[in-house]
Structure formats: C-alpha cells, structure tokens
Amino acid sequence: MRRIPQYSRDWRIRTLVPVIAVNMLIFALLYGVMYHFAVSNLVKTERAAGSVLLDEIELDFPDMMHDPSGTRVRARMNREAAVHNLAEFNIFDSIARPVVTTYDVPPPEIVDAVRSMLSSRDGRTEWIIAPGNRTLLVAIRPLANRPACNECHVRELPHLGALQMSIDMTSSLKAAVHNVRNRFAIAGVAWIGILALMFWAGGRVIGRPLRKIQDSLRGAPDAADEQDLEALAKRVHERVWTTIEQQRTREEDIARHMARAQQLAALGEVAAGLTHEIKNPLAGVIATLDIMRMEEDADREILDQMLNELARVTGTLDTLLRFGRPQPPQRREVDLGRVVRDLSTIFQARFRRQGVELQIQTDDELLTLQLDAAMMAQLIVNLLTNALQATARGGTVSVFVTPFPQRDGVALVVADTGIGISSDNLLHIFDPFFTTKDDGTGLGLAICRQIVTQHGGSISIESEIGKGTRVIVLLPDTRAKELEESHGVAAAG
C-alpha cells in the first residue's frame, strides 16, 4: 500500500489548501466580472459620446452637403477626428463606396459591414469591435433619404449612404484594465491579511485545544502524527476506551475490596470464636502431653512431634486472630533502613544455608517515619521469607529502601530471581488463605497488605514466570497530613 505523505494529513494543510483554492476561484470569477464590467462600462461611455457626435454631424449634414466641392464636409470630419481622437471618420454612398475619408482607405471588413447595413434598410446605428492590433469601436449610421435631399438624390433610395467612424479604445482600455488590476492587488493584499488572521485565529481556537489533547496523549503511538486529525481522533478514542476500562477495573477492585472487607469482618468474628473454642482445649491437650512426656516410659519422639504440630496450630490461630482483629499501629519515629539492616543480619545465616545471596541497599539520608516498628519487622520478615522460599540456590534477593523523589515518603522494594508468579495467581495473591505452598497458611501477604494499609501506604507485586518477583511497598510521610488535620480541628473548634 502506498504511504500517504505526512504533510497531506496535517489538519492545517487540509484546511489551508481548500480555502486557498476556493478563494482563488472566487477571485478569478470576481476578476472576470469586474474586467467585463469595466470594459462594458467603457464601451457604453464611448458609445454614448459617439452617438452624440453622430447626432450633431447628421443634424448638420444637409447644410454641409450644399457645398458641391465637399470642402465643408472634409473640414468638419477632420476637425472632429482630431478633437475626439478618432481612428477614422468616413462617408459612404448608397452602394457602400467611400466618398470622404479622413485617413487611410477603409478596410474591406468595414466596407462589408456598411454594405450589409445599407441593404438591410434598418435605420439604427450599428456598433462593432473591429479586430486588429488596436481595439477599435466602430459605429455605422445610415443617412436617411429625407425630402430635402430629393433635389439631388433619387427619391426611391431608403438611405443616401452611411457615416462610419472608429473610436480608438486601446489606451483607455489599458487604463481601465490597469485600474482593475490595481484594485485587485489591493484586495489581494487585504485578502491575504484576512486569511492570515483567520488562520492565526484558527490556530488559537483549534490549535491550542489540539495541543492540549496532544500533551495529554504524550507517549502514545504514532506521536509524529500530531497534526493528523484522524490519527488524533483514533488515539483519543483509544485513550478514552482505556480510561473506561481502567475505571471499570478500578470499580471491580473496589467491589473486590469491599467484599474482602466484609470477609475480614466476618473472619474476625470467626477468629475470636475459634480462639476461644479451640485454643483453650489445645492448651489442655498441650499441658497433658507435657505431663505424659515427663513419664519414664513415654515415647518422647512421638510426643515432641505432637507438641510441635499443636504449637504450629496455636501459631496459626494467633495469626488468624491478629489478621481478623488487627490492632491499631503503635506509631513512633522509625528508621526503616535500620530495621531492614537489623533483620538482614538475622536472615543472612538462613540465606547462606540455602545458597541464596541477600543484597541490602539503603539510602544514607533516609528520613524517619511514624511507623509501628513491630509491624514493619513482621512485614519485612514475611517478604524476605517469601522471596527466600521462591528463589533457588544460586539466586539473589535484593532489598532497596529509598526516599520518594520529593522526600515525602519511603519506598521499600524486595526483588528476587525466583520462579515468579503466574498472572492468574497474581489476581488472588493478597486474598486470605490463598497459597501455592503445601505448608502455607495463605495469610502472609494478606497480613502484609493489612499492615501497609494501616500505615496509609500501598503494596504491589510485579512478577514474570522464570524471571522473578518484585514487591513494591510505598509508605508516605503522614506527619504533614496529621498536622494539617490537627490544625483544621483546632480552627473548627
């Protein structure tokens, strides 16, 4: 397929070319109309002046014809030709022969025109434009055979002859055309100014909103087609559709979170009941097993295994109780980087035993936040434990702690080179009791999310099968917000 040139899709070119073409067509038509009007008006003026001159000569013609020598007629015709700048002034007889001429012998086409008029017996003046190097307006008026003329001429002839004069319009026509061109030059300059103003206004009215739309679409594909309205409309449609999809996803997330909140509320009630109904009997069973273990004939290996399993059940119940009925954070000034470094010291031995490298990177000028140190420790322990369990020998787990660009919070990132998480599992990774481990409870990441949410932060997970997982925790500095809220309460009070 042949590619359309880039400039041909520019909305300014698409607008400018038709406007210029239409305006040029209008200007051409207008020029033709004005040119025709100027020439017609000039011809009418010359015809009016010529008709007056012919009327005067025809009125005086009988008196001039009383001179047999024709001197008066020639003198009058020469005088009128010189005064009125006539190209020629001729008199023809009844058979179209030139009787008196002012300059050269009349051309054949004039003689033919005179003969045609005399044969038609029409008494009106005929006006024609003679072809040639000059623009000549030719007038032919028949001389009527009046009673006073019958003394010298035959009575039956309708016309005694004809008067013919040629008005040279070359200079006057050039002046008229020059005047029309000058006016059109002025109109053209004004038109160009109006067109430039119109496109400037169009750029302000259309271009500025388009630029704002383009700015909002920065980074979209086909960024070079910024002036292509079709491509821009397509990208706007795609962006609107993407926004609608994002809004729909957000609404689904909100609905999921509401459902999760309801589940957690119900879970809290169930956890309290389970703790009361199960932990008390378990405590009795554990106490009994301890007594039995102290007897000499007891199988201590089996009893130890039973006690370990019961201790794990008790720990799970405690975790479930904390998750179902979380306690509010006990906030104080906490250096999250120091918490990470202290815990990494404890975890180093476990990582070395499994052949996994643990890398810690914290900012030296990391700001302290109002956090619950115990909850932060539990959060980091859970994330490090998950990363270690997902990473094979020879892999790496990296922990980064860095401030936000505006230093209004701290980002904690735990990344591993482990097996990764499938996209289907990522949708449920924070759901309570969802786990892919044989010995997992499915509460670790749910508790991590709960801790982060209690501190006003956010947690997200990025993962790809075979390439690893990255957990991103964002903890904002809530002191400024709390100070603002306290000032607002004080002002209201």
Residue with tokens 């309570």: 432
% of the chain surpassing 90 pLDDT: 8
295 and 245 share a domain? Answer: yes
Domain total in the chain = 3
**Domain boundary residue among 325, 356, 391?**
325
Sorting pLDDT into bands at 50, 70 and 90, what band is 3?
very low
337 and 457 share a domain? Answer: yes
**Domain boundary residue among 175, 192, 215?**
175
Instruction: Establish if 382 belongs to a structural domain.
Output: yes
Is the pLDDT reported for residue 201 higher than 80? Answer: no
Question: What is the distance between the alpha carbons of residues 344 and 16, in angstroms, rounded to a whole number?
Answer: 68
Sorting pLDDT into bands at 50, 70 and 90, what band is 481?
low
Write the CATH number for 85.
3.30.450.20
- For the stretch 374-389, pLDDT in tens is 888 888 988 998 899 8
Sorting pLDDT into bands at 50, 70 and 90, what band is 38?
confident
User: Residue 163, Cβ neighbours under 10 Å: how many?
Assistant: 22
The β-bridge partners of 384 are none
158 and 289 share a domain? Answer: no
DSSP label at residue 10: B
Residue type, 333: E
Instruction: Establish if 35 belongs to a structural domain.
Output: yes
Question: What is the distance between the alpha carbons of residues 344 and 335, in angstroms, rounded to a whole number?
Answer: 14
292 and 352 share a domain? Answer: no
Instruction: Establish if 192 belongs to a structural domain.
Output: no
59 and 139 share a domain? Answer: yes
340 and 303 share a domain? Answer: no
Between helix 373-390 and helix 336-353 the angle, nearest 10°, is: 30
311 and 452 share a domain? Answer: no
- HSE-up of 163 (CA within 13 Å, CB side)? 24
The average confidence (pLDDT) of the chain is 77
**Domain boundary residue among 325, 348, 370?**
325
Report yes or no: 70 and 100 within 8 Å, Cβ to Cβ.
yes
- For the stretch 135-184, pLDDT in tens is 888 888 888 776 666 666 666 666 788 888 888 888 888 888 888 888 88
Instruction: Establish if 195 belongs to a structural domain.
Output: no
Residue type, 128: I
Q: Is the dihedral of CA 412, 416, 421, 425 positive or negative?
A: negative
Q: Is the dihedral of CA 66, 72, 74, 80 positive or negative?
A: negative
- What pLDDT sits at residue 94? 82
Of 32-41, 266-275, 411-420, 422-431, where does the model show the most confidence?
Answer: 411-420
% of the chain surpassing 70 pLDDT: 69
88 or 327, greater pLDDT: 88
What's the whole-number mean pLDDT along residues 77-99?
Answer: 83
Instruction: Establish if 181 belongs to a structural domain.
Output: no
Residue type, 218: R
- What pLDDT sits at residue 301? 74
Query: What is the model's pTM?
Result: 0.42
Q: Which domain holds residue 303?
A: 223-325
Instruction: Establish if 3 belongs to a structural domain.
Output: no
298 and 361 share a domain? Answer: no
141 and 31 share a domain? Answer: yes
19 and 166 share a domain? Answer: yes
- For the stretch 114-141, pLDDT in tens is 888 888 777 788 888 877 778 888 888 8
Across 41-55, 146-160, 279-293, 440-454, least confident range: 146-160
102 and 170 share a domain? Answer: yes
Q: Is the dihedral of CA 422, 428, 429, 435 positive or negative?
A: negative
Write the CATH number for 452.
3.30.565.10
Of 225-229, 304-308, 354-358, where does the model show the most confidence?
Answer: 354-358
- For the stretch 237-260, pLDDT in tens is 676 777 777 777 777 777 776 676
312 and 349 share a domain? Answer: no
Across 263-272, 429-438, 454-463, least confident range: 263-272
Of 152-156, 419-423, 467-471, 485-489, where does the model show the most confidence?
Answer: 467-471
Residue with tokens 């002034």: 89
